[in-house]
Chain A
Amino acid sequence: MGATIPDIIEAIHLEKTFGSIKAVDGISFAVKKGEVFGFLGPNGAGKTSTMKIIACVSPRTSGTLRVFGMDPDISPAEIKQRLGVVPQETNLDPDFTCYGNLFTYSRYFDIPPDAAQKKAEELLEFVQLSEKRDVTVEKLSGGMKRRLILARALVNNPDLLILDEPTIGLDPQARHLIWERLKLLQAQGNTIVLTTHYLDEAERLCDRLVIMDNGKILVEGSPADLVKKYVGNEIVEVEKTPDVLSCLEKNRIPFEITGDTVQIATESSRDVARVLFDHCSPHKVLTRPATLEDVFLKLAGRKLRE
């Protein structure tokens, strides 16, 4: 037999409209087994709408979509049985403890009580909440709630994990703990789809990602390839002064102005820095590696999104 592994998700010309607004505007993508696939984009780009369509809670307007080879319009329960979903909004059940949340949720998946009990304890351990086992969720910190939601998404040993902004609003410690757990899940061969507008998060976690804006996919690739292709290796930042600007133009070095700094994307920061120091008398110069953030801002623009 051929060695092709069937895609976990396959979307062709996926569209979602709300009234006259196209939230998702004809996107196509495929997610392979064992891969961490990211959706990046500013607010309102259509990421969450896409997640909800994949998670079978929001019907698509048009296009083809297969999750595990099944159509969400036809077999939502069968697909959802194999999904783990971390929603953007915290929707833990306040009437239950941490353990109670996991146990109650297991029941929705038809997991026998014995197995559910065992799994719940295991997962509390996994997200480091065993000490909070019998605490009601209202008493948890934001980071603990997100961890519990992650644990809840794992009660059914999902074949696909869908994370919508998994670390939104968390402090650095809490974010790192979640990342660490996700890395572990990734290493165990889980397929993960996530949205984020934290670019460091995407860079750290994703094997492959798409950048979305206005419902469309702008680019697709691995974080490193995208940085290399769209920005280059390094960025030189220099304080914006009339001297520097005219000097750069004279030396035909392409640049971009952001606020009161000038950014120069380059393959060799050393060469650019030399030109600056020799000819432009710059005030402040900073060189740094190019990141996904540079790609993102370049493609999605710097305009503030509501």
Chain B
Amino acid sequence: MQHFWSVPRITRRAWKVWHRNIVVFFRTWKVNFFPPLIEAFLYLFAIGLGIGSYVREIEGIPYVNFIAPAILAISVMNSAFFECTYGSYVRMYYQKSFDAMIATPLSIEDVIAGELLWGATRSLLYVIIMLPVLAAFGVISLPLSLLAIPLAFLGGLMFAGIAMCFTAVTPSIDTLNYPSFLLITPMALFSGTFFPVTLMPVLFQYIALALLPLTHLVAIMRMLTLPALTGMLVLHLIWILIVTAIFCIIAINLMRKRLIV
């Protein structure tokens, strides 16, 4: 057990792995930039304006404004999670990129750290793409909502760490479907995204707060975009910081265990 918790030695070489990924991302930018744009429009129209025309307001807030931060938070979660599950798995298993990289001065810790940083960066980029759309619809407040950008990186790092833990233990690419359907999809629905957590039975509220990382990300996001800052922000932030640190450390150690034999 001891080695799962030991803090890995990471060097600044990790950024070289990040650099490689971002170069590939921007080379195929047309493919990569459209999903977040489309996603923002789809959510806004289908749920925001569609369902919103019936719901109108939640807790005194126009429904579309209520879900706007959730759209951002879900995108943060999805982009980092899928990048560091399927994306990282393909690079690790099918492309053998990690093997090629650790034959250079890069260590496996550097490589995985670079992948995590890249997952977080992808979340950040998606939020940067979505923000103007949401701003154009007038459903987020400016300039406070710009803080969603650094928050996206932190939230992205958290989901990247969680994702990489699954990638480190998954026997095949198919079994990565389990966390996607059993964790990510329910989280996107029950984390105070499209309706307040307080509508759920008390027990579920506790579960959502204690165990669902997205709950905390949505909560902070909403404080920024409405805006409605409260002292709770600090608690949510601390929760995210701790969980991010734990999962990133475990992810790197699990990956080391998987790849260094």
Contacts and interface: CB of A to CB of B under 8 A. Distances in A.
Interface string A239-258: 00000000000000000000
Contacts of A55: 103
Contacts of B11: 77
A80 B95 contact: no
A62 to B, nearest CB: 16
B19 interface: yes
A87 interface: yes
Nearest to B259: A57
Contacts, number: 61
B261 A108 contact: no
Contacts of A77: 11, 13, 105-107
B242 interface: no
A251 B13 CA distance: 70
B102 A57 contact: yes
B260 A104 contact: no
B104 A109 contact: yes
Interface residues of B, number: 22
Interface string B62-101: 0000000000000000000000000000000001110111
Interface stretch (A91-99, A196-204, A214-222): A91-99
Contact of B99 (A89, A96, A156): A89
A160 B24 CA distance: 31
A83 B96 contact: no
Interface of B: 11, 13, 16, 19-20, 23-24, 27, 95-97, 99-107, 260-261
Given A89-B96, A104-B23, 4 more contacts: A57-B103, A81-B105, A95-B95, A96-B24
20 contacts: A55-B103, A57-B103, A57-B260, A59-B260, A77-B11, A77-B106, A80-B104, A80-B105, A83-B103, A87-B99, A90-B96, A91-B100, A93-B97, A95-B95, A108-B13, A108-B104, A108-B105, A108-B106, A109-B104, A110-B105
